[in-house]
Amino acid sequence: MSTTATEIATWMTDIITTEQKVTQTDMVDAIEAKFGPEWTYVNDNGHVSIDRAVLREFRKSHRGAVKWDREDRAWYVDDAASGTEDAGTTETTED
């Protein structure tokens, strides 16, 4: 049975929820190690990124519970109770 973008997206959401914050570099490395390099690519800016199909499914899977910090190039859990604000303006790995 082959892995799907939805399965990877769900796994990503679980990891970020557990860890509270995960950098893009760490997530790319983890995806390549666990699911294979076919789920990543080098974007126009020369950064290794997560497959676009995975990112589309990821946005659906976290339902707004995960935010993107553009400066840190990391995803984090938005914990409104602790006063954490959304530091990023978009959720992308195209930086």
Local confidence band at 80 (pLDDT 50, 70, 90 cut-offs)? low
Q: How far apart are CA 2 and CA 25, in angstroms?
A: 24
Per-residue model confidence (pLDDT) at position 81: 31
Residue 73 backbone class (left: φ over 0; alpha: ψ -120 to 50; beta: rest): left
CATH architecture of 5-82: Orthogonal Bundle (1.10)
pLDDT digits 0-9 by tens, 8-63: 999 999 999 999 999 999 999 999 999 999 999 999 999 899 999 999 999 999 98
Half-sphere exposure of 3 (CA within 13 A, CB side): 17
Local confidence band at 84 (pLDDT 50, 70, 90 cut-offs)? very low
Task: Output the average pLDDT for the chain.
Answer: 86
